[in-house]
Amino acid sequence: MKKSLVALAALAVVGAASAQSSVTLFGVVDATYAYGSGSVSNKSQLTNSGYNSSRLGFRGVEDLGGGLSASFWLEAGLANDDGRGAATNTNNQATGGAVAGIGGGQGLTFNRRSTVSLNGGFGEVRLGRDYTPQFWNLTVFDPFGTNGVGTTQTLNSSLGGPTTVRASNAIGYFLPGNLGGFYGQAQYYLGENASNAANKKDGNGLAARVGYANGPINVALAASQTKFLTGNIKAWNLGGQYDLGVAKIMAHYNQDKISGGADGKGFLIGGLVPVGAGEIRLAYSTYKIDTAGADPRSNKLALGYVHNLSKRTALYATYAHVNNKNGAAQSLNGSVTGANDNSNGYDFGIKHSF
């Protein structure tokens, strides 16, 4: 009888703990057949993340009582076509491993996000590696979500450097979600260099984003500065979306400037059109780099279709065409094209989330 009571008490403790905390395993596996053609060479490959980024993640939250909670989020990028993990960057500089989102070869890393948070009525304080505020406007207001061959040229040609998408060693704050549609965040990130080094501030940065989302409207403004001995990188962008019911139209403008160096600027305009169980995606984006020379510019037109087989599984196809001017040589899906030549790219794939 005594053993039974002990067992019941143990079950009660476990049940109470389960009610107050939870851990979730989640992910996306996205396989893509990608073909690219350019004036120098073409390329055909089985790759990944043509619609959604392939990933494996763990997240959890614990109720601390009194309106407080603690949470964590660990999310690793995956190359499911060959089993590699995605590369990360440890110090927001070229010396800290591969630039986030480019290349690989570091094994499984929680490169996409690795944070711990304290949440309450005051909002959220988040520590660790995370998306930068300036990136959100590029991906949220891109019909292709900055994935695959249709990704906006404002990201593909960006001068934003290692913190264009994510920053390591970040301290972030998010406004609470009960402000009548207003939202915002601020982030400070560290390069973690020695205090007596000439580049002691390299990789340090500050960024913020404010927006308003209510009904069919969503609009946001973001700005950032990342410090480098070779020239600070300043960026700002403005994006918006309007839901017409029959379609969502969206646009953004982005500008990146290197102190004493080049100035890049561009925009996107596009939309999402629901069609039965699927969705048509289309976008036009452009980016120009102002230099003392030719001012290279790349213009991209992208068209795609996603067909949802279920809430978790979808088939997709995307076509994109890049037109290069003034010495630009942007190419698609691993192809190589010469300066001022065009490039075409195609994605065909399947995405499954869990």
Q: In Å, how far are 20, 70, 106, 155 from 17, measured between CA atoms?
A: 5, 14, 36, 44
Q: Name the residue type at position 75.
A: E
**Locate tokens 């996409």: which residue?**
112
**Going by C-beta distance under 8 Å and a sequence separation of 6 or more, which residues neighbour residue 9?**
none
Q: What is the DSSP letter of 87?
A: P
Q: Is residue 305 within 8 Å of 326, Cβ to Cβ?
A: no
Instruction: Give pLDDT, residue 105.
Output: 55
Instruction: Give pLDDT, residue 323.
Output: 98
Segments in the chain below pLDDT 50: 1-19, 100-104
Instruction: Give pLDDT, residue 107.
Output: 80
Strands (DSSP E) found in the chain: 21-37, 43-48, 55-65, 68-79, 84-85, 113-120, 123-131, 166-174, 182-189, 205-214, 217-226, 233-243, 248-258, 263-275, 278-290, 297-308, 313-325, 342-353
What are the pLDDT digits (tens) for 294-353?
899 999 999 999 999 999 999 999 999 999 999 999 999 999 999 999 999 999 999 999
What are the pLDDT digits (tens) for 181-217?
999 999 999 999 999 999 999 999 999 999 999 999 9
* pTM of the entire predicted model: 0.90
Q: Is residue 211 within 8 Å of 218, Cβ to Cβ?
A: yes
Q: Is residue 155 within 8 Å of 167, Cβ to Cβ?
A: no
Q: In Å, how far are 17, 233, 248 from 300, measured between CA atoms?
A: 52, 24, 20
How far apart, in whole angstroms, are the C-alpha atoms of residue 17 and residue 115?
Answer: 22
Instruction: Give pLDDT, residue 353.
Output: 98
**Going by C-beta distance under 8 Å and a sequence separation of 6 or more, which residues neighbour residue 109?**
76, 77, 85, 86, 87, 88
Instruction: Give pLDDT, residue 21.
Output: 77
User: What structural domains does the chain harbor?
Assistant: 23-353 (2.40.160.10)
How far apart, in whole angstroms, are the C-alpha atoms of residue 226 and residue 210?
Answer: 19
Q: Is residue 193 within 8 Å of 168, Cβ to Cβ?
A: no
Which pair of tokens denotes residue 343? 């490039």
